[in-house]
Structures are given as structure tokens and as C-alpha cells.
A and B are shown apart, each in its own frame.
Chain A
Amino acid sequence: MCLRRVGLGCLVLSLAAAAAAGEGGALASRIRRLAGELARPERSALAERELRSLCWHATRPGAEAERRLAAATLVALLEAEATPPAVKAGVVERLGAIGRAEAVPALARRLADRELREASRRALERNPSAEASRALRQGLATRDAGFRAALAQALGARRDAASVPLLVPLVDSPDETLRLAAVEALARIGDPTAIPALRAAMARRRVSPGARRRVGAAYVALAAAVATRGERRAAVQMYGDLLKGTAAERAAALLGLGRAGGTAALPALLEALDGDDRRLRGAAAQALAAVPGSEATKAVAARARKAGPALKATLLDVLAARGDPAGLGVALSAAGHAESAVRLAAIRAAGAMRSAAAAPRLIELVRYTAGAERAAAESALRRIPGKQVTLAIVEALAASEPDARRVLVRVLGARGDPDCLTPLRDAASDPDPAVRAEARRALSQLGHGEPDAPKPKPVEPRQP
């Protein structure tokens, strides 16, 4: 019975294909022939591959007429009663890849077909036309809570703002799947009018831990979307709600406040640095790096001054990330801290602030330390711009020991300042051979070295 039906379907398709004519007809005919073969197990894999390639090719820019014809052919196949179900399933999938408005009515009708509705929903979700959104919204009228959830999910994925009034009532649905789908769709759409509904969902009692977590995450996502729209006051209020939530929500709230809360968020962020949960402390530190303005820098610096070694190092990293010279004082004083990790963080921060005022201390560190600290100070000195810094380095050269001279010469080479040329030429005749070599390398890098010997031509790599 089934085979006879498939055979009849193939015959209908073949006859239809034979009737087609012209170039467009050839394309339509080919699509129909391949679609027909989808129902033949021994041919279906090859036919699907060919059909897929044909459709993808028809979507290329500048070939709109071809795409429309291919889509219309597929729609006709989907609507034809004689088309076997296996072919229809393949057709729906292809329409998901190439269909636009012309495919929507046929796909929308399949939303009521238990066999094809999920594939049709996915095809509509991928369809870029406004008509597809409308069809999905209309589909929400179905009574099947599971499928309504799937439709809500599709509308969320499309960020369809027009569906917000339809999704909001679903947040109160007794069906948890539908409720969560609506909540997450609203969060993805990111419209501030959804805030009260999601706030109510947050307050809902007697929900599973998993569901509660997803509502919280949706609230975080909505707050971020609202902040991105520039509605910072609403976002800050939402983050305030989240500060009363789970540890994960509190961490997200701190980060959100750092981005959206401005200086008003500083007390909450600084307070979180003293908590027991290292993840919350980490989130607070990360958030402090994002709060704009020198007032925030000063607040972080003040807190760093009083902090124990571990927190001090973390806050120095925050100051480095901020790069604001308003924090230079605490960085320079911490460069002499008893703990090596703090000293290194302080030197990194001083370099990141790119202030000439840090140069004398950094030069001292190059001259009188070794290892990681000297390397960090060298790195910092390379990053700080300005003639004044170059001159301070040049001035320090003569009084430095050979190993420090070598590093300072290297810094001069890296700075590439024209004022470096004379001291570098002087250093090229330094009594210390390592300093001389470094100076010659630096001059060469600056294009003022002795003419280089011709470089050997790279050898062609051997094939593996």
C-alpha cells in the first residue's frame, strides 16, 4: 500500500517534471526529479545531496529569480497531495534553507500537521521574512503546550519584538516547559516591557532548582540587553534584584553593575571584595575594572592601599586594566612590597598607566633588581611614551652597572625615539662587550647600524 503510494507519487512528480520547459523549467524539473527520488531508499542519499547543492547554489547573491523559482517549486511539491510524506519532510528542510515570504503560507499550514510541524517550525525560524514571524505568532494559538513552547523558542531566536505581548502572559502558564520557553524568549528579545513579567517569574515560589536557575539567567540576560539599549537605570534596578539571588546571580549582578552602574555601584563592588566566596570577589574585581572615571580609580587605589597581599595584587591588576594614572601612587609604593607577586603586579600596573611620572622608579628597578622584576620594569619602560622618559633613561645609563646598562640600551632601541641615536652610538663603544652588542643590535633595528651582510634566502620547506 505504502510502496504503491510512493510509486504513484514518483510518477506524478516525473510527469510534472516532464511538463516543464525552458531554463527555469529545467531547474524546476530537476528539483522535482530529485525530490521524487527522496522517497526511494536506494537513491535518497544521493538525491538529497544533489538537491541540497542545487538549492544552496540558487541562494547565491544576484540569483534571486533562481532562488524564487526553486522555492516556488518546493512549495508546489509540499502542497501537492500526491507528494509522499518522506518527500515532504525533505522539501520542508530545503525550504528552511532557501524559502522567504513565498514559502510561509505552505509552511504555516504544516504547523498543524503532527508529522511536519516541528520541521516546519524550524524552517520558519530560519526564514528571514516578516511573514515568517507573523506565522509563528499565529501558531502560538495552538493548545498544545509543548508545541507552543517550541514556537515561543523560535520567536525568541528571531528576536521578534512584536511577539512580546503574546509571550508575557505565557510566563504565568502552569506548564513549566512553556513558562520557561516564554521567559527565555523574552530575555532574548530584550524588550524592557518584559521586565515586570520576568521579575514576577523570579519571585515565583515552588519551582525546581533547574527552572529557578534558568529564570535567573534569563533575568540576567534581559538586564544586559536593557543596559545595551541605554536604559541603564532599569538595568541597575534589575541587577539590584539579582544581588539578593543565588551566588551565580550575585556574580552576574556585580559584573552588570560594573558595566551599567557607574560610580554609584562602587560601594557594592568594594564590599564584595571582602566576602568569603572567591568567585564573587573575582567578579567584583573584574567589575571594578569596567567602572568608568577617575573616581573609580581612586576608590580602587584607596582599597588597594589597605588590602592584604593577595587582594592588593588583584587590585593592582584592576588598576593595570583601568590604565588610569590616577592610580599611579599606590602602584609605585607597592613596587617595594615584601611579596614578590605584589611587586610584579605593581610594576605591571605602573607600565599600563603609561605615565612619565613612573619612569624614575622603573629605571631604579631596572638598575637595582634582577629577574622577573627587572624584566617587568623593562617591559613597563618600553610602554611609556615621551621624550622625557627617553632622556631619563639616557641620563641613567652612565651611572649604571653593565648588566643594567645593557637592559637600558635595549629599552632605548625598543623605544625608537630619534633622541636615542646619539646615546646608542656612544654605547656601541661601551667598555662592556654585551652592552656594545646590544647597542649595535638596537642601532640596526632603528636602521642606523652597519650594513648587514646579505641575509641567506630561506630554504623551501620539505613536504611532510
Chain B
Amino acid sequence: MGTSLSRRAFLRATAAGVGLAAPYLAAGRVVASPGKPAPSDQVRVGHIGLGGMGSGHLGSYCANDRFPSVALCDVYEPYRVRAARRCTRKVALHTDFRELLDRPDVDAVFIATPDHWHALIAIYAAQAGKDIYCEKPLSLTIAEGRAVADAVRRGGRVFQTGSQQRSSDTFRRACALVRSGRLGRLEAVQVGIWGSSRGCHLPSQPVPAGLAWDLWLGPAPWRPFHRQLHPASWRAFRDYSGGINTDWGAHHVDIAQWGIGASLGGPVRIDPPSKAHRGARLTYANGVVCTMGAPVNGVRFDGSEGKVEVNRGYYRTWPESAWREPLEPDDVELHRAPGDSVGGHHRDFEACVWSRRRPVCDAEIGHRSATACHLANIACWLGRSLRWEPATEELVGDAEAARWLRRPLRAPWRLP
């Protein structure tokens, strides 16, 4: 059941001797004041998942007049309370995301839950007519990602995957140099991350007060609570995440695919880790091999006439002058976000919500990047090479591996 923390409720609560935190003193502006946007010029935002990244998104919107936060949702009460205290206006609080999606006063949602929830909430949000900013990786399985991309396309929603490196000028320029041939023919890509997830064998512990554990698990197989799963370390376990490979892969493999020109495609062959390479190797149709787990800083593109290595706040080219080369019109057609990194990624989403264009990392792109990471994991888990057909999104010649493209959800949750 949703609750609403308005100024009136606050005054009533304090009058009754129930102390609430000081920031609520500033709450209560519901109607636009002079000089502020009219409600029709606003996009009202709901936040689902208020942990680390969710808290960051809330920071950008809780005092935003054009995209005001109006509803917050988390399965953990202390997070809800902490988030509500940061808001200077009336916000509704929910434990169950479905209640938030039922609200007609929410136009767009930010999804920052654990990974195993991303796809389902995104699909429900698309069905409810909301525009969506969803944290990466887009999905836990390839089938989930496809379902998200289809639901977004069918519903005409604006969707931004939270792979904010696509809105970084540094990453964009590195990919532009590669795509425009400034480093010669692209021969190989090295990605400096690797780490898969594993089965979970943690013992049972008491569920902390204020945590809706069954709702935290949602579509994942039921298991008892353990503090390693909530709030922070769930990424180590296969039922909730693909590990570093999908967590960081949704950034660095995403950039690799941007530079390769495979944002809407994917690898055609995936080799598991071996003595020769610590991580998986993804081979693309143009012959470029992307090696994960390589000893590089971020992502390195190796061209026949030069190289570029790029990470957050870092870039390096060989030769050094390559970075300074001016790019001409039509050298590349890479989307430029109106700002840098997370802020730019938010601005790009906001601009697209108004213009109804596709953001820099829309659902299809987020799905394709996550797919490459999922395939790396499947090859690693099964210990064998896979052949992938990006056009049909099918594994070729390995019917048993194909079972990994989807995972049955725990009833009553299901992919619509």
C-alpha cells in the first residue's frame, strides 16, 4: 500500500509527537509556483530501487522542477525513509513497484533494482505507458532483454539503458576515431574486465526488519535471506546477476561494440577462457576479436595504424597525435549527449522524453550489449565455444546451450 508524506502529514505526525527528520520542514510545494514550470510542462518521475545507483538518480531529480520526483519505491523501508528525507516536495512511498506503476501521476521511471528485476519492471513500466531509464545490465538473460526491447518498441516508449559511458565525450571520441578509420583497420579490441557469477550456497539468516524479502527475490528461485545478498553483494550470484561480466561488461563491452560498429549486432563466435586468455573472446562478423579480461585500462582498440585506450577520465593513443586529429562531418555518426557521463546521460534521456527520439543507449542497444556479456558467461559456464547468429538471436548447433537463453521465472512472475 502506498503512503504519502506531505507537509500536512508531516505536521500531523509531529503534532502527535512522532518526530520526523528535519528535511521534511522544506516539503510541501505541490503546485508550481510563479516562475516554475506548469504541470503540463513537467515529466513526473518515479524511482524504483533506492540503493546506490537509485540514490544517485534521485539526487538529480528530487529538486528538479521539470522532472520532479513524485513517487519512490523500494523493498527496504530504511531506503524509502532515507530517500524521502532528501525530497523537498511531496512524494509517495511504495514497497511494491506495481503500485507505483499504477499511478497516473508518474510519467517516467528510473529503475535501479538488482539485475534480476530490471527486465520485468521495465516491461511492466512500458506497458503502463511510462518512459524508462533502466540501470544496466538490461537483463539477466537474453530472452528477457529481447522481451524488453520488443515491449519498448511496441509501446513507443523512450528508453535509456544506464550505460552512461555512451554519454561520455572521451568514450565517444575514442569510438569515433576507431569508426572513422583514423587508427587504420580495426584488428582487435581488449576489454579489461572479467568475472562471472556463481551458484549461491549461503546459509539462512533472519530477514532484517523492514525488508520485503519475497519481493526482493521476485522472479528468482526462492532461497532464505543472507546479508551478503542484500544490500550489496548479490552480483556474485547467478540467480541475480551475471557478475562483473554483465555489471562492467554493460559498460566496457558496450563501448567495444560501439567502436566495432556492432551496437545493434553482436559476436558470431564466443570462446570460453583458456590458458591463452583469462576471459572470453568474442569474434565479430568483420573478423575483429574482442578479448575480455585483458591487461588494459578500460577498453583498448588496436588498429593497423594506431591504438586508443580509454577509460573513465583516461585516454591514450598511439601515436599520441591521433587524439588531436580533427574529425570531419560524416567521419562518424555517433550520438553526442548534451553533457558528459551520468549527467549527460540523464539530459539525453530528458531531451528524448520531450522529442520522442531514441536516446544514445536505447533498449535495443542495451539488450545487444548485455547479450554479448551473457554469451561470454554461458560459454564460461559450459566450458565450450558457442556460435551465435545476431540477426535471429539463436545459438547455432548447440541445442543444450540454447537452454541458457532464458530462465524460468518463479511463479507468479512471468515475462509478459
Contact = CB atoms under 8 A, between A and B. Distances in A.
A378 interface: yes
A65 to B, nearest CB: 14
Contact of B399 (A53, A128, A156, A247): A128
A410 interface: yes
Given A118-B411, A121-B408, A126-B403, A216 B127 contact: yes
Contacts of A282: 156, 355-356
A286 B381 contact: no
Contact of A461 (B316, B397, B402): B316
B129 A61 contact: no
A56 B403 contact: no
Closest 5 CB pairs of A and B: A282-B356, A248-B129, A150-B411, A59-B400, A45-B201
A45 B223 CA distance: 14
A210 B98 contact: yes
B383 interface: yes
A379 B331 CA distance: 9
A18 B81 CA distance: 59
A122 interface: yes
A98 B403 CA distance: 9
Contacts of A157: 406, 408, 414-415
Nearest to A41: B203
Interface string A279-311: 101110110000000000000000000000000
B85 interface: no
B194 to A, nearest CB: 14
B156 A153 contact: no
**For the side of the interface on B, what is the size category?**
35 or more
Given A214-B127, A410-B328, A61 B411 contact: no
Interface stretch (A76-84, A197-205, A251-259): A251-259
B128 A279 contact: no
A459 B156 contact: no
A459 B306 CA distance: 8
Interface stretch (B169-177, B243-251, B274-282, B295-303): B295-303
B354 A56 contact: no
Interface residues of A, number: 78
Contact of A61 (B316, B355, B398, B410): B398
B383 A458 contact: no
B414 A184 contact: yes
B416 interface: yes
Q: Secondary structure of the B side of the interface?
A: loop
Contacts of B192: 464
Given A125-B408, A379-B329, A252 B414 contact: no
B246 to A, nearest CB: 19
A177 interface: yes
B102 interface: yes
15 contacts: A52-B199, A56-B382, A60-B384, A153-B409, A157-B406, A177-B412, A213-B128, A251-B129, A255-B154, A279-B131, A283-B356, A286-B156, A378-B330, A458-B306, A464-B295
Given A461-B300, A463-B295, A217 B330 contact: no
A187 B416 contact: yes
A243 interface: no
Contacts of A254: 156
B416 A221 contact: yes
Contacts of A149: 411-412
A146 interface: yes
A365 to B, nearest CB: 13
Contacts of B306: 458
Contacts of A60: 382, 384, 398, 400
Contacts of A221: 150, 154, 416
B178 interface: no
A132 to B, nearest CB: 12
A265 to B, nearest CB: 14
B105 interface: no
A57 B383 contact: yes
A279 B154 contact: no
B403 A97 contact: yes
Given A49-B199, A378-B330, A251 B156 contact: yes
A44 interface: yes
A157 B296 CA distance: 41
B154 A48 contact: no
Nearest to A45: B201
A154 B400 contact: no
B385 to A, nearest CB: 10
Given A56-B381, A126-B403, A214-B416, A461 B307 contact: yes
B356 A248 contact: no
A214 B132 CA distance: 17
Contacts of B153: 255
Contacts of B98: 210
A188 B151 CA distance: 12
A206 to B, nearest CB: 16
A244 interface: no
Contacts of A154: 408
Contacts of A53: 383
Contacts of A286: 156, 356
B336 to A, nearest CB: 12
A113 to B, nearest CB: 15
Interface centre among A49, A378, A461 (most CB of B within 10 A): A461
Contact of B127 (A44, A213, A279): A213
B414 A156 contact: yes
Contact of A224 (B131, B154, B198, B309): B154
Contacts of A255: 153-156
A38 to B, nearest CB: 10
Contacts of A456: 319
A188 B399 CA distance: 21
Interface in A450-464: 455-456, 458-461, 463-464
Contacts of B407: 126
Contact of A252 (B101, B155, B307, B319): B155
Interface in A130-161: 146-147, 149-150, 153-154, 156-157
A128 B383 contact: no
A414 interface: yes
Interface in A90-146: 96-98, 118-119, 121-122, 125-126, 128, 146
A128 B127 contact: no
A126 B408 contact: yes
A49 B198 contact: yes
